[in-house]
Amino acid sequence: HMLVTGGGYSLCRHPGYVGWFLWSVSTQVVLGNPICFAAYVYVSWRFFAGRIPGEEDLLIDFFGEEYLAYARRVPCGIP
C-alpha cells in the first residue's frame, strides 16, 4: 500500500467526507430550510466526529510517521 497525498488529498485528508458534508448541508441551503440545515450540520458533524478519529488511528498504525507528517501538513477538512 502507498499513502496517497496528491490531488484532492493535498487539500484535505478526507476529501470524500468533506464533499459529502458540503453536499448534504448544501441541499438544505438550496431548499431554503433553516431548521433542516441546522439538523443536517449537527447530524453530519456528529457522524464524522465519531468516524474520522478511528480511521486516522488505523492510518497512523499502518503508515506511521509518514501519515503523521502528512497530517501535520494537510488539514482534516472537517474540524
Those residues whose C-beta lies under 8 Å from the C-beta of residue 11, and which sit 6 or more positions away, are: 74, 77
What one-character DSSP code corresponds to residue 12?
A: -
Reported confidence tier of residue 78, pLDDT bands at 50, 70, 90: confident
pTM: 0.85
Reported confidence tier of residue 30, pLDDT bands at 50, 70, 90: very high
The pLDDT tens digits of the residues spanning 37-64 come to 999 999 999 999 999 999 999 999 999 9
